[in-house]
Amino acid sequence: MKKKTLFSLRSPYREQLEVIGYRFGSGRKALAIVGAMRGNEVQQMYVCSRMVQALKKLESEGKIAEDCEIMVIPCINYYSMNIGKRFWAMDNTDINRMFPGYNLGETTQRIADGVFSQLQGYEYGIQLASFYQPGIFLPHVKLMDTGFTDANIMKDFGLQFGIIRKPRPYDTTTLNYNWQVWETKAFSVYANATDEIDVKAADEAVNAILRFMDTRGIVSAKTPPGYVTLILNEGNTEQIQSESAGMFFRQAQIGKTVERGEVLGRIYDPFDGELVSEVRTPVSGTVYFAYNSPLINAKTVCFKIIK
Protein backbone atom coordinates (compact mmCIF):
# COMPACT_ATOMS: atom_id res chain seq x y z
CA MET A 1 0.00 0.00 0.00
CA LYS A 2 1.17 3.49 -0.83
CA LYS A 3 -0.39 6.49 0.91
CA LYS A 4 -0.17 9.67 -1.13
CA THR A 5 -1.47 13.24 -0.99
CA LEU A 6 -3.39 13.66 -4.25
CA PHE A 7 -4.39 17.30 -3.81
CA SER A 8 -3.65 19.98 -1.23
CA LEU A 9 -5.16 23.38 -0.56
CA ARG A 10 -3.86 26.02 1.83
CA SER A 11 -6.26 27.78 4.16
CA PRO A 12 -5.75 31.03 6.07
CA TYR A 13 -7.79 29.78 9.03
CA ARG A 14 -7.27 26.01 9.26
CA GLU A 15 -4.62 23.42 8.61
CA GLN A 16 -3.97 22.61 4.97
CA LEU A 17 -6.60 20.46 3.27
CA GLU A 18 -4.98 17.29 1.98
CA VAL A 19 -6.93 14.75 -0.03
CA ILE A 20 -5.32 11.37 0.67
CA GLY A 21 -5.34 8.38 -1.67
CA TYR A 22 -4.33 4.78 -0.92
CA ARG A 23 -2.82 2.86 -3.83
CA PHE A 24 -2.60 -0.92 -4.04
CA GLY A 25 -0.87 -3.01 -6.69
CA SER A 26 0.84 -1.48 -9.71
CA GLY A 27 0.44 -1.19 -13.45
CA ARG A 28 -2.64 -0.20 -15.41
CA LYS A 29 -5.26 1.91 -13.66
CA ALA A 30 -7.90 -0.75 -12.97
CA LEU A 31 -10.24 0.74 -10.34
CA ALA A 32 -10.72 3.90 -8.29
CA ILE A 33 -13.07 4.05 -5.28
CA VAL A 34 -14.22 7.42 -3.92
CA GLY A 35 -15.91 7.94 -0.56
CA ALA A 36 -17.16 11.06 1.20
CA MET A 37 -17.39 14.22 -0.87
CA ARG A 38 -19.90 15.76 1.53
CA GLY A 39 -19.45 16.52 5.18
CA ASN A 40 -22.17 14.19 6.44
CA GLU A 41 -21.15 11.11 4.44
CA VAL A 42 -19.77 9.19 7.41
CA GLN A 43 -21.00 5.79 6.19
CA GLN A 44 -19.35 6.36 2.81
CA MET A 45 -16.02 7.18 4.47
CA TYR A 46 -16.38 4.14 6.73
CA VAL A 47 -16.96 1.78 3.80
CA CYS A 48 -13.80 3.12 2.13
CA SER A 49 -11.79 2.63 5.33
CA ARG A 50 -13.00 -0.97 5.36
CA MET A 51 -11.92 -1.31 1.72
CA VAL A 52 -8.44 -0.06 2.63
CA GLN A 53 -8.17 -2.78 5.28
CA ALA A 54 -9.48 -5.48 2.93
CA LEU A 55 -7.10 -4.48 0.13
CA LYS A 56 -4.10 -4.33 2.50
CA LYS A 57 -4.82 -7.93 3.42
CA LEU A 58 -5.28 -9.04 -0.19
CA GLU A 59 -2.07 -7.26 -1.22
CA SER A 60 -0.09 -8.92 1.58
CA GLU A 61 -1.41 -12.30 0.40
CA GLY A 62 -0.48 -11.59 -3.24
CA LYS A 63 -4.12 -11.66 -4.37
CA ILE A 64 -4.14 -8.44 -6.38
CA ALA A 65 -3.76 -9.25 -10.05
CA GLU A 66 -0.50 -8.41 -11.76
CA ASP A 67 -0.50 -5.14 -13.69
CA CYS A 68 -3.52 -3.79 -11.76
CA GLU A 69 -3.60 -0.63 -9.66
CA ILE A 70 -6.46 0.16 -7.27
CA MET A 71 -6.90 3.54 -5.60
CA VAL A 72 -9.16 4.39 -2.65
CA ILE A 73 -9.98 7.97 -1.59
CA PRO A 74 -11.91 7.71 1.69
CA CYS A 75 -12.75 11.41 2.12
CA ILE A 76 -12.42 14.60 0.09
CA ASN A 77 -14.35 17.13 2.18
CA TYR A 78 -13.26 16.57 5.78
CA TYR A 79 -13.23 20.37 6.32
CA SER A 80 -17.04 20.25 6.37
CA MET A 81 -17.16 16.91 8.18
CA ASN A 82 -15.18 18.36 11.09
CA ILE A 83 -17.88 20.99 11.73
CA GLY A 84 -20.96 18.92 10.84
CA LYS A 85 -21.89 20.61 7.55
CA ARG A 86 -22.96 18.71 4.43
CA PHE A 87 -21.49 21.13 1.87
CA TRP A 88 -18.29 23.15 1.64
CA ALA A 89 -18.04 25.11 4.87
CA MET A 90 -17.14 28.52 3.45
CA ASP A 91 -19.73 29.00 0.69
CA ASN A 92 -22.11 26.02 1.04
CA THR A 93 -21.33 24.66 -2.43
CA ASP A 94 -21.35 20.97 -3.32
CA ILE A 95 -18.07 19.50 -4.59
CA ASN A 96 -20.05 16.81 -6.44
CA ARG A 97 -21.65 19.53 -8.56
CA MET A 98 -18.31 20.99 -9.67
CA PHE A 99 -16.79 18.34 -11.94
CA PRO A 100 -14.70 18.19 -14.05
CA GLY A 101 -13.52 21.26 -12.15
CA TYR A 102 -11.58 24.40 -13.00
CA ASN A 103 -8.16 25.10 -11.53
CA LEU A 104 -8.64 28.89 -11.62
CA GLY A 105 -12.22 28.88 -10.34
CA GLU A 106 -13.94 28.88 -6.97
CA THR A 107 -12.52 26.76 -4.16
CA THR A 108 -14.75 23.74 -4.76
CA GLN A 109 -14.07 23.94 -8.51
CA ARG A 110 -10.34 23.80 -7.80
CA ILE A 111 -10.78 20.84 -5.44
CA ALA A 112 -12.84 19.00 -8.08
CA ASP A 113 -10.21 19.75 -10.72
CA GLY A 114 -7.35 18.54 -8.52
CA VAL A 115 -9.12 15.34 -7.55
CA PHE A 116 -10.47 14.59 -11.02
CA SER A 117 -7.01 14.91 -12.57
CA GLN A 118 -5.98 12.00 -10.32
CA LEU A 119 -9.08 9.95 -11.17
CA GLN A 120 -8.82 10.04 -14.94
CA GLY A 121 -7.62 6.98 -16.82
CA TYR A 122 -9.09 4.28 -14.56
CA GLU A 123 -11.00 1.53 -16.31
CA TYR A 124 -13.63 1.36 -13.55
CA GLY A 125 -14.81 3.89 -10.99
CA ILE A 126 -17.00 3.37 -7.91
CA GLN A 127 -18.46 6.23 -5.91
CA LEU A 128 -19.97 5.59 -2.48
CA ALA A 129 -22.98 7.84 -2.92
CA SER A 130 -25.67 9.38 -0.71
CA PHE A 131 -29.10 10.85 -1.35
CA TYR A 132 -29.85 14.57 -1.09
CA GLN A 133 -32.49 13.99 1.61
CA PRO A 134 -32.12 12.34 5.04
CA GLY A 135 -33.03 8.71 4.67
CA ILE A 136 -31.92 5.12 4.38
CA PHE A 137 -31.53 3.00 1.25
CA LEU A 138 -31.70 -0.66 0.46
CA PRO A 139 -28.08 -1.29 -0.64
CA HIS A 140 -28.01 -1.14 -4.44
CA VAL A 141 -25.87 -0.02 -7.37
CA LYS A 142 -26.81 2.73 -9.78
CA LEU A 143 -25.60 3.60 -13.28
CA MET A 144 -26.03 6.96 -14.94
CA ASP A 145 -27.05 6.14 -18.50
CA THR A 146 -24.68 8.19 -20.64
CA GLY A 147 -24.31 5.50 -23.29
CA PHE A 148 -20.67 4.82 -22.36
CA THR A 149 -21.11 1.92 -19.89
CA ASP A 150 -22.75 -1.50 -20.18
CA ALA A 151 -25.53 -1.80 -17.57
CA ASN A 152 -25.03 -5.57 -17.31
CA ILE A 153 -21.73 -4.98 -15.50
CA MET A 154 -23.85 -4.02 -12.46
CA LYS A 155 -24.64 -7.72 -12.03
CA ASP A 156 -21.04 -8.30 -10.95
CA PHE A 157 -21.71 -6.52 -7.64
CA GLY A 158 -24.28 -9.14 -6.66
CA LEU A 159 -26.57 -6.58 -5.02
CA GLN A 160 -30.33 -7.07 -5.11
CA PHE A 161 -31.04 -4.18 -7.48
CA GLY A 162 -29.20 -2.30 -10.20
CA ILE A 163 -30.91 0.93 -11.21
CA ILE A 164 -30.31 2.82 -14.46
CA ARG A 165 -30.78 6.57 -14.15
CA LYS A 166 -31.30 8.93 -17.08
CA PRO A 167 -29.06 11.96 -16.42
CA ARG A 168 -30.73 15.30 -15.85
CA PRO A 169 -29.04 18.62 -16.73
CA TYR A 170 -27.71 19.10 -13.18
CA ASP A 171 -26.11 15.63 -13.30
CA THR A 172 -23.60 16.75 -15.93
CA THR A 173 -21.39 18.30 -13.24
CA THR A 174 -21.19 15.17 -11.06
CA LEU A 175 -18.17 12.87 -10.72
CA ASN A 176 -20.08 9.86 -12.05
CA TYR A 177 -21.15 11.61 -15.26
CA ASN A 178 -17.72 13.11 -16.00
CA TRP A 179 -15.94 9.87 -15.22
CA GLN A 180 -17.95 8.25 -18.02
CA VAL A 181 -17.33 11.11 -20.44
CA TRP A 182 -13.60 10.53 -19.85
CA GLU A 183 -14.09 6.81 -20.61
CA THR A 184 -14.22 5.33 -17.10
CA LYS A 185 -16.98 2.79 -16.48
CA ALA A 186 -18.51 4.44 -13.41
CA PHE A 187 -21.04 3.19 -10.85
CA SER A 188 -22.57 4.52 -7.65
CA VAL A 189 -22.97 2.16 -4.69
CA TYR A 190 -25.50 3.08 -2.00
CA ALA A 191 -24.73 1.61 1.43
CA ASN A 192 -27.92 2.40 3.37
CA ALA A 193 -26.95 5.14 5.84
CA THR A 194 -25.24 8.51 5.41
CA ASP A 195 -24.56 10.42 8.64
CA GLU A 196 -24.43 7.34 10.85
CA ILE A 197 -22.60 4.01 10.58
CA ASP A 198 -24.57 0.91 9.62
CA VAL A 199 -22.07 -1.94 9.99
CA LYS A 200 -24.30 -4.58 8.39
CA ALA A 201 -24.91 -2.44 5.30
CA ALA A 202 -21.19 -1.57 5.16
CA ASP A 203 -20.38 -5.29 5.18
CA GLU A 204 -22.72 -5.77 2.24
CA ALA A 205 -21.16 -2.87 0.31
CA VAL A 206 -17.59 -4.08 0.94
CA ASN A 207 -18.48 -7.60 -0.16
CA ALA A 208 -20.23 -6.23 -3.25
CA ILE A 209 -17.15 -4.24 -4.29
CA LEU A 210 -14.84 -7.19 -3.62
CA ARG A 211 -17.22 -9.42 -5.60
CA PHE A 212 -17.07 -6.93 -8.47
CA MET A 213 -13.27 -6.84 -8.41
CA ASP A 214 -13.05 -10.62 -8.26
CA THR A 215 -15.41 -11.06 -11.22
CA ARG A 216 -13.52 -8.42 -13.22
CA GLY A 217 -10.19 -10.17 -12.55
CA ILE A 218 -8.70 -7.33 -10.49
CA VAL A 219 -8.33 -9.31 -7.25
CA SER A 220 -8.86 -12.87 -6.06
CA ALA A 221 -11.28 -12.63 -3.15
CA LYS A 222 -13.72 -14.99 -1.47
CA THR A 223 -17.04 -13.34 -0.60
CA PRO A 224 -20.48 -14.57 0.44
CA PRO A 225 -22.71 -15.34 -2.56
CA GLY A 226 -24.65 -12.35 -3.83
CA TYR A 227 -28.05 -11.83 -5.39
CA VAL A 228 -29.01 -12.37 -9.00
CA THR A 229 -29.26 -8.63 -9.64
CA LEU A 230 -32.50 -7.25 -11.02
CA ILE A 231 -31.64 -4.41 -13.40
CA LEU A 232 -34.35 -1.83 -13.95
CA ASN A 233 -34.81 1.75 -15.09
CA GLU A 234 -35.45 4.48 -12.55
CA GLY A 235 -38.81 4.95 -14.28
CA ASN A 236 -39.82 1.61 -12.71
CA THR A 237 -39.69 3.22 -9.29
CA GLU A 238 -42.39 5.28 -7.59
CA GLN A 239 -41.66 8.36 -5.47
CA ILE A 240 -44.14 8.99 -2.67
CA GLN A 241 -44.43 12.49 -1.18
CA SER A 242 -45.82 13.61 2.15
CA GLU A 243 -49.10 15.51 2.01
CA SER A 244 -48.53 17.45 5.24
CA ALA A 245 -45.75 18.74 7.47
CA GLY A 246 -45.25 17.53 11.03
CA MET A 247 -43.63 14.79 13.09
CA PHE A 248 -42.88 11.78 10.90
CA PHE A 249 -43.17 8.18 12.08
CA ARG A 250 -42.07 5.54 9.61
CA GLN A 251 -43.98 2.23 9.57
CA ALA A 252 -42.39 0.43 6.61
CA GLN A 253 -38.78 -0.75 6.67
CA ILE A 254 -36.50 -0.75 3.65
CA GLY A 255 -36.58 -4.05 1.81
CA LYS A 256 -40.18 -4.68 2.81
CA THR A 257 -42.66 -5.85 0.17
CA VAL A 258 -45.79 -3.68 0.37
CA GLU A 259 -49.21 -3.81 -1.26
CA ARG A 260 -51.05 -0.92 -2.87
CA GLY A 261 -52.86 1.17 -0.26
CA GLU A 262 -50.70 -0.03 2.63
CA VAL A 263 -49.75 2.57 5.27
CA LEU A 264 -46.02 3.33 5.10
CA GLY A 265 -45.88 6.15 7.63
CA ARG A 266 -47.89 8.60 9.69
CA ILE A 267 -47.52 12.35 10.26
CA TYR A 268 -48.68 14.01 13.48
CA ASP A 269 -49.21 17.64 14.44
CA PRO A 270 -46.12 18.62 16.48
CA PHE A 271 -48.14 20.76 18.90
CA ASP A 272 -51.29 18.80 19.74
CA GLY A 273 -50.26 15.29 18.63
CA GLU A 274 -53.25 14.79 16.32
CA LEU A 275 -52.82 12.57 13.27
CA VAL A 276 -52.75 14.87 10.23
CA SER A 277 -51.79 12.48 7.44
CA GLU A 278 -51.14 8.86 6.54
CA VAL A 279 -48.61 8.04 3.85
CA ARG A 280 -49.99 5.20 1.71
CA THR A 281 -48.37 3.54 -1.27
CA PRO A 282 -50.18 3.89 -4.61
CA VAL A 283 -48.34 0.84 -5.99
CA SER A 284 -47.23 -2.60 -4.86
CA GLY A 285 -43.52 -3.33 -4.69
CA THR A 286 -40.36 -3.17 -2.56
CA VAL A 287 -39.41 -0.20 -0.37
CA TYR A 288 -35.89 0.85 -1.32
CA PHE A 289 -35.72 4.35 0.20
CA ALA A 290 -37.28 5.66 3.41
CA TYR A 291 -37.09 9.14 4.91
CA ASN A 292 -35.80 8.93 8.49
CA SER A 293 -35.79 12.43 9.98
CA PRO A 294 -38.26 13.08 12.84
CA LEU A 295 -39.65 16.25 11.19
CA ILE A 296 -40.94 16.44 7.64
CA ASN A 297 -42.17 19.17 5.31
CA ALA A 298 -45.11 18.85 2.95
CA LYS A 299 -44.31 17.54 -0.56
CA THR A 300 -41.15 15.79 0.66
CA VAL A 301 -40.18 12.48 -0.92
CA CYS A 302 -40.51 10.08 2.02
CA PHE A 303 -40.51 6.68 0.29
CA LYS A 304 -39.35 5.18 -2.99
CA ILE A 305 -40.85 1.92 -4.20
CA ILE A 306 -39.51 -0.47 -6.80
CA LYS A 307 -42.72 -1.38 -8.61
- In this prediction, what percent of the chain has a pLDDT beyond 90? 92
Residue 84 has pLDDT above 90, yes or no: no
Q: Could you tell me the pLDDT band of residue 96, with boundaries at 50, 70 and 90?
A: very high
Closest CA to 61 of 28, 24, 20: 24
Residue 121 has pLDDT above 90, yes or no: yes
Q: What is the tens place of the pLDDT at every residue in 213-270?
A: 999 999 999 999 999 999 999 999 999 999 999 999 999 999 999 999 999 999 999 9
Please state, rounded to an integer, the average pLDDT across all residues of the chain. 95
Omega prior to 74 cis, within 30 of 0: no
Residue 96's identity, in one-letter code, is: N
Closest CA to 296 of 244, 238, 239: 244
Give me the architecture of the 2-228 domain, per CATH. Answer: 3-Layer(aba) Sandwich (3.40)
Res 112: pLDDT: 98
Res 64: pLDDT: 98
Domain positions in the chain are 2-228, 236-306
Residue 52 has pLDDT above 90, yes or no: yes
Which of 48-52, 80-84, 188-192, 210-214 is least confident?
80-84
Determine whether domain 236-306 maps to CATH 2.40.50.100: yes
Residue 137 has pLDDT above 80, yes or no: yes
Res 134: pLDDT: 83
Residue 207 has pLDDT above 90, yes or no: yes
Global confidence as pTM: 0.94
What value does the mean pLDDT take over residues 21-36? 98
Res 223: pLDDT: 95
Q: What is the dihedral of CA 10, 15, 19, 20, to 10 degrees?
A: 140
Q: Could you tell me the pLDDT band of residue 131, with boundaries at 50, 70 and 90?
A: confident
Residue 13 has pLDDT above 80, yes or no: no
What value does the mean pLDDT take over residues 123-146? 92
Q: What is the dihedral of CA 246, 83, 179, 67, to 10 degrees?
A: -130
**Dist CA 141 CA 161 (whole Å):** 7
DSSP-H helix ranges across 40-93: 42-60, 78-81
**Dist CA 12 CA 211 (whole Å):** 44
Res 132: pLDDT: 78
Residue 45 has pLDDT above 80, yes or no: yes
What value does the mean pLDDT take over residues 83-108? 94
Cβ–Cβ under 8 Å, residues 229 and 158: yes
Residue 12 has pLDDT above 80, yes or no: no
